[in-house]
């Protein structure tokens, strides 16, 4: 039985990823060494990996499902409004049926927060 899909997100500097996910999005560091950190929040997890080579090749767009997109939006827009994605600065209904907004870091890693109808 599958439980979670946990991405690796590459950064030129590990600190850039920690600033976005931990300081900005409120994730917690579960493990960290010189080149990698395991982060989590409410069951969502990711590996942040320092690798200039791979960071230059891939700036991912990630999506996280939530059951309270409005609550997350309020939290993010109050705490880190400068990280709201310029093209998705508010919660909106998408043609595919979800309500979502997005956050964007200075390296162009994008995280969409998405709520599906019941």
Per-residue pLDDT 10s for the chain (118 aa) are: 888 899 999 999 999 999 999 999 999 999 999 999 999 999 999 999 999 999 999 999 999 999 999 999 999 999 999 999 999 999 999 999 999 999 999 999 999 999 999 8
At 76, phi and psi to the nearest 5? -70, -40
Edge to edge, the sheet with strand 99-104 lists 61-65, 110-115, 99-104, 92-93
**How, if at all, do strands 99-104 and 8-11 pair?**
unpaired
pLDDT at 118: 87
For the chain, what are the domain ranges?
8-115
DSSP designation for 29: E
Is residue 37 within 8 A of residue 8, CB to CB? The reply is: no
User: What 3-state DSSP class applies to 65?
Assistant: strand
Measured CA distances, 97 to 42, 92, 118 (Å): 23, 10, 11
CATH architecture of 8-115: Roll (3.10)
């Amino acid at each position: 039985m599958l439980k979670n899909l946990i991405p690796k997100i590459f950064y030129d500097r590990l600190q850039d990823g920690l600033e976005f996910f931990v300081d900005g999005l409120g994730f917690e560091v579960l493990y960290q060494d010189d080149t990698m950190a395991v982060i989590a929040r409410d069951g969502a997890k990711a590996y942040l990996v320092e690798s200039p080579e791979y960071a230059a090749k891939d700036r991912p767009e990630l999506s996280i499902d939530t059951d309270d997109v409005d609550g997350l939006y309020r939290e993010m827009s109050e705490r880190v409004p400068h990280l709201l994605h310029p093209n998705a600065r508010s919660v909106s209904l998408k043609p595919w049926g979800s309500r979502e907004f997005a956050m964007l870091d200075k390296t162009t890693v994008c995280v969409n927060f998405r709520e599906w109808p019941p």
